Amino acid sequence: MTIMGTCHFVSRQHAIKYYRSYEFSDDMRQAIPKDVDLKIGEGLIRIGKPTLRKGERLLVIDNGCRYAVESDS
């Protein structure tokens, strides 16, 4: 069984929550929503479920913030 994390987040707010969980200074924490928006615009972060292939299963990881894909291979 293989589990692979994705760049897909449940929502924009969940992406912000995910990045805020890192140890940053207060100044950097305030910049996170803008950084998330930039990453969304650049396609580095995606909002919503990823497309699954046959035999894959969707998981939610990182305290309910991010999607992962599980497969038997």
Tell me what pLDDT residue 27 has: 65
pTM of the model: 0.87
Q: Which tens digits make up the pLDDT trace of 20-49? A: 887 666 667 678 899 999 999 999 999 999
Q: Are 49 and 8 in contact (CB under 8 A)?
A: yes
DSSP state letters, 38-53: HHHHHTSSEESPPPPP
Q: Are 10 and 66 in contact (CB under 8 A)?
A: yes
Radius of gyration, alpha carbons of the chain = 14
Tell me what pLDDT residue 25 has: 65
Q: How confident is the model at residue 67 (pLDDT cuts 50, 70, 90)?
A: very high
Residue 48 dihedral angles phi and psi, to the nearest 5°: 110, 170
Residue-number span of the structural domain to which 21 is assigned: 2-71
Q: Which tens digits make up the pLDDT trace of 54-65? A: 999 999 999 999
